[in-house]
A and B are shown apart, each in its own frame.
Chain A
Amino acid sequence: MKKVMFGLAAAAAISAFAIESANVVGYNTTAVAANTWYMAGVQFTDTATGTGISLQDFVKGDFEGKVFWDDEMAIAPTVQIYGPSGYTAYYYFVDAADGADEVTAWADAGGDAVDVTLTPGQALWFKNPMAACNVTFAGQVLAAGTKDITCTADAWNMIANPYPMELALNSNKVTWNVEPKVFWDDELPIAPTVQIYGAGGYTAYYYFSDAADGADEVTAWADAGGDAVNVSIPAGGALWFKASDASVVTFAK
């Protein structure tokens, strides 16, 4: 009898887990060297709303907060979120003000805990000035479908692959909605450009109507020499994107 009850309890536990796992929760942990900026894309949402995720919930890890009142802003773990006209910085304080309470939280330069919502397709910089750490980005995985990201013309837009799988630049999984330029018309500086950030710095790619692909000329993302590239944006990977025309970049899963 005891055995049967145990089996029923186990079955109940499994079914409860199955119900909870209908929302697929994911995370991405990355080792970041001390005092080094790391560009991360927002690829998760909040499990409750599915439309965005709080900065407080999205960026966590084994890094330590600093004391706001000890003038430690410059050495506190930092996040910078860029828009077309600049960026906003947030700091990880152990004594951030949250109403009447003091909490360990991401806070603004005044030491107040912030309520910032991030949406998949956004990106941010993270840095822990004083020590190497593991930073974890977590939330609910986006469901299959498409995600549109509106970009400003003639500005560097910091955007991200919102899905937990790598997507090739030159594939039908990413639609850029911008006009390519002609490589041989000296138009490289004004061609739509992406700069993908890695440990060694940026690599730039340009959108040309006459990129070389073997013996053919194709419309494709190409390197500075005009050759089409086989490059993917990593899962949750972020990049800078700039074009002379405003566009809606669409990622598809």
Chain B
Amino acid sequence: MKKIMFTLLAACAICVTAKGSAVDWSFTTKSTSTAADGGTVYLILGAAGTYASIDDVKAAAVDSAAASLSGTKIQTGVQVWDGGTKAVGATDSFSYVLVDSGETGYYVAATGLTGTYYDPADALTPKPATMAKTVSTAITSSSMTAFSGGSGGGGTPEPTSGILLLVGAGILGLRRKRA
């Protein structure tokens, strides 16, 4: 009985300490584009969709890595994304967005990928294969979609933000009048 209790306690201790999970990922595309050299690949949880600005892409990303040109390949190394408290063995869909070094153009990988969470502290069992996106054609081909919009933050204010600006200016004016 003592032995069973001891085993149960050990199992509980393992439950408490095993709280982290991770997904490994990497990105490679066959291209000689110097614009993408020094750019960044963003890891998006779920479908990448479309974005109005690069800032939106950055806000949506859960991880990122520098992309570099090596021979005919633009690629990142293998990255380890800390999935937090996600259950080990659970899966999620991911997408990538490649933003070039000038942040004047950006591209979304056409298809998503499935990543499997593993326990980085578990040395015994093998971990899932690295979730990797390899694109065989150039980044300007149909396998990647370029979308316009450029760098965000400097564009024309949207109607809602324009109204907020007017309200703020009005409040400031009232305070000055009272003073």
A-B contact pairs, 20 of them (CB 8 A): A37-B123, A73-B3, A73-B7, A156-B125, A156-B126, A184-B134, A186-B111, A186-B134, A190-B129, A191-B129, A195-B126, A202-B126, A202-B127, A212-B73, A224-B77, A224-B132, A225-B26, A225-B28, A226-B28, A242-B126
Chain A proximity mask over B109-147: 1 for CB below 8 Å, otherwise 0: 001000000001001111111111111100000000000
- Tell me if B126 and A189 are in contact (CB < 8 A): no
Chain A residues closer than 8 Å to B125, beta-carbon distance? 156
Whether B155 is near chain A, meaning CB under 8 Å from some CB there, is no
Give Cα A27–Cα B127 distance, bound, in whole angstroms. Answer: 30
CB of B70 closer than 8 Å to a CB of A: yes
Say whether, besides A184-B136, A201-B123, A224 and B6 are in contact (CB < 8 Å).
no
A188 to B6, CA, bound (A): 43
Contact in complex: A204, B129 (CB < 8 Å): yes
| Contact A225–B123 (Cβ < 8 Å) | no
- Tell me the smallest distance from the CB of A164 to a CB of chain B, in Å: 25
- Chain B contact residues, CB within 8 Å of chain A: 2-3, 6-7, 10, 26, 28, 30, 70-71, 73, 75, 77-78, 111, 120, 123-136
Residue pair A188, B130 in contact (C-beta under 8 Å):
yes
Main secondary structure of the interface of A (DSSP, over half): mixed
Given A188-B129, A189-B132, A224-B78, verify A125-B124 contact (CB < 8 Å).
yes
With A225-B73, A226-B73, A226-B134 as contacts: A74 and B10 at CB distance below 8 Å = yes
Given contacts A37-B123, A201-B123, A225-B28, contact A186 B133 (CB under 8 A): yes
Interface size on A, residues (CB 8 A): 30
Structural contact, A71 and B6, CB atoms closer than 8 A: yes
Contacts of B7 in A (CB 8 A): 73-74
Counting residue pairs across A and B whose Cβ atoms lie within 8 Å, the total is 71
What residues of A have a CB within 8 angstroms of the CB of B123 in the complex?
Answer: 36-37, 197, 201
Nearest B residue (CB) for A182: B136
Q: Is the CB of A195 within 8 A of B131?
A: no
Q: Which residues of A lie under 8 Å from residue B132 when comparing CB positions?
A: 186, 188-189, 224
Which of chain B's residues have a CB closer than 8 A to the CB of A183? 134
- Enumerate chain A residues within 8 angstroms of B136, measured Cβ to Cβ: 184-185
Mark out the residues of chain A between 58 and 95 whose CB falls within 8 Å of any chain B CB in the assembled complex: 71, 73-74, 80, 87
A225 with B129: CB separation less than 8 A: no
Expressed in whole angstroms, the minimum distance between the Cβ of A220 and any Cβ of chain B is: 16
> 10 tightest CB-CB pairs across the interface, nearest first?
A184-B136, A240-B126, A188-B132, A189-B129, A37-B123, A71-B6, A156-B126, A74-B10, A224-B26, A224-B130
